[in-house]
């Protein structure tokens, strides 16, 4: 085993110890295949009002422009699939938002991993990313063999489906690189057929401006009337394309206590949500990603669903 392989093995073992589901490594270089795809997606205005997607085009595609001297992208997956879900007669919340905001949970683990690399290997410079910078998470995870990008544009793996967060360390250390895996979607179109707003306009292409996650989280204005009655009771995010995916039969509950929901969250009914006060919002979502939409955003969504 040469030193690049040894170092890669060391990093993957530590990632597992820190609770990550899996870890893959790819060479930090320009994402040639993604460039025309991203350009076309932006030209077709599929980013809706997410203007920030148009910024830093070069940095999105080239990690060496983001982290000077970078050699490797270490991609990591962290499971968030819950052991129990909301009561079925409630307005719905995406599963990833049940517990503590993942940004905090993963950032701490990434910092610990980077510290470990520096302690064990020596002077290594790098940065940690949790969808907070112009990094194409899914493309890097796929490049490093952690899964393939499904027709719903989420990363998929045969062993555990798709209910996990993706994060990365971009570092100036040469390592042994993994190779991409193959696509196992086959002729299945479950996600395309089930999307309540028909946001998956063709296999592997999602029109962000029609996606329920975008409408309930990113969009700051009123939800367009054309989506009346099409939101399937989702008040924050949406899991439909993942829920119907056959590969998610293999999802196993996470073992991260910080991702456990506030006890009240699972039992709340539609009536409870319609009457939610700012105090209850603060209590139930104290450290949650739901704070991104704020109390006003969540109540706007609930009113829209109520019609």
Domain extents for the chain? Answer: 3-86+99-171, 190-251+260-306
Q: pLDDT, tens digit, for every residue of 201-237? A: 999 999 999 999 999 999 999 999 999 999 999 999 9
Per-residue pLDDT at 60? 86
pLDDT band (50, 70, 90) for residue 276: very high
The answer for residues whose C-beta is within 8 angstroms of residue 199's C-beta and 6 or more apart is 206, 207, 208, 210, 211, 212
101 part of the active site: no
- Pick the closest to residue 186 from 158, 146, 144, 145 (CA basis): 158
Q: Is the pLDDT of residue 44 over 90?
A: no
Q: pLDDT, tens digit, for every residue of 86-127? A: 988 899 999 999 999 999 999 999 999 999 999 999 999 999
Task: Tell me the mean pLDDT in the region 256-280.
Answer: 94
Per-residue pLDDT at 246? 98
Q: Where are the beta strands (DSSP E) in 46-154?
A: 72-79, 92-93, 126-129, 148-149
Residue 61 tokens, joined: 């595609």
Contact (Cβ atoms closer than 8 angstroms) between residue 291 and residue 101: yes
Residue 44 tokens, joined: 């077709």
Task: Tell me the mean pLDDT in the region 284-288.
Answer: 91
Per-residue pLDDT at 157? 96
pLDDT band (50, 70, 90) for residue 47: confident
Q: How far apart are CA 229 and CA 227, in angstroms?
A: 6
pLDDT band (50, 70, 90) for residue 134: confident
Q: Is the pLDDT of residue 300 over 90?
A: yes
pTM as predicted = 0.94
Q: How far apart are CA 266 and CA 292, in angstroms?
A: 20
Q: How far apart are CA 12 and CA 112, in angstroms?
A: 13
Per-residue pLDDT at 169? 97
Q: Is the pLDDT of residue 81 over 90?
A: yes
Per-residue pLDDT at 305? 97
Task: Tell me which of 193 and 49 has the higher pLDDT.
Answer: 193
Task: Tell me the mean pLDDT in the region 179-195.
Answer: 97
Q: Concatenated DSSP letters for 150-202?
A: -TTSSEEBTTTBT-EEEEEEEES---PPP-------TT--HHHHH-TT--EEE
Q: Is the pLDDT of residue 132 over 80?
A: no
Half-sphere exposure of 148 (CA within 13 A, CB side): 12
Topology at the third CATH level for domain 3-86+99-171: NADH Oxidase (3.40.109)
Residue 63 tokens, joined: 């990690």
Task: Tell me the mean pLDDT in the region 40-54.
Answer: 81
Task: Tell me the mean pLDDT in the region 28-43.
Answer: 87
- Eight-state DSSP code of residue 28: -
Per-residue pLDDT at 15? 98
Per-residue pLDDT at 54? 77
Residue 54 tokens, joined: 């148009």
pLDDT band (50, 70, 90) for residue 38: confident
Per-residue pLDDT at 39? 84
Residue identified by tokens 């544009």 is 153
Task: Tell me the mean pLDDT in the region 132-152.
Answer: 93
- At residue 149, φ and ψ (nearest 5 deg) are -85, 120
The answer for residues whose C-beta is within 8 angstroms of residue 275's C-beta and 6 or more apart is none
Task: Tell me which of 287 and 156 has the higher pLDDT.
Answer: 156
Q: How far apart are CA 10 and CA 18, in angstroms?
A: 12
Catalytic residue among 131, 172, 232, 233: 131
Q: How far apart are CA 146 and CA 243, in angstroms?
A: 20
Mean pLDDT of the chain: 94
Task: Tell me the mean pLDDT in the region 282-291.
Answer: 92
């Amino acid at each position: 085993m040469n030193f690049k392989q040894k170092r890669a093995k060391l990093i993957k073992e530590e990632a597992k110890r820190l609770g990550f589901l899996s870890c893959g490594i790819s060479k930090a270089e320009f994402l040639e295949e993604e460039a025309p795809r991203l350009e076309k997606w932006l030209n077709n205005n599929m980013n809706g009002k997410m203007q920030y997607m148009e910024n830093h085009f070069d940095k999105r595609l080239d990690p060496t422009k983001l982290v000077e001297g970078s050699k490797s992208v270490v991609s990591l997956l962290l499971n968030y699939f819950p052991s129990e879900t909301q009561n079925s007669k409630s307005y719905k919340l995406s599963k990833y938002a049940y517990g503590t905001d993942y940004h905090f949970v993963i950032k701490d683990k990434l910092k610990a991993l980077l510290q470990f690399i520096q302690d064990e290997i020596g002077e290594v410079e790098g940065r940690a990313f949790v969808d907070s910078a112009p990094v194409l998470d899914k493309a890097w995870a796929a490049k490093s063999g952690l899964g393939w990008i499904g027709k719903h544009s989420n990363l998929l793996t045969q062993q555990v489906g798709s209910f996990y967060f993706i994060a990365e360390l971009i570092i100036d250390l040469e390592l042994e690189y993994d190779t991409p895996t193959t696509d196992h979607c086959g002729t299945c179109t479950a996600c395309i057929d089930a999307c309540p707003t028909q946001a998956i306009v063709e296999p592997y292409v999602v029109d962000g401006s029609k996606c329920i996650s975008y409408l309930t989280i990113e969009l700051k204005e009123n939800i367009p009337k054309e989506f009346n009655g099409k939101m399937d009771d989702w008040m924050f995010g949406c899991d439909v394309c993942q829920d119907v995916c056959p590969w998610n039969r293999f999802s196993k509950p996470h073992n991260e206590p910080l991702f456990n929901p506030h006890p009240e969250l699972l039992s709340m009914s539609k009536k409870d949500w319609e009457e939610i006060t700012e105090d209850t919002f603060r209590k139930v979502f104290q450290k949650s990603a739901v704070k991104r939409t704020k109390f006003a955003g969540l109540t706007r969504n609930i009113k829209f669903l109520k019609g």
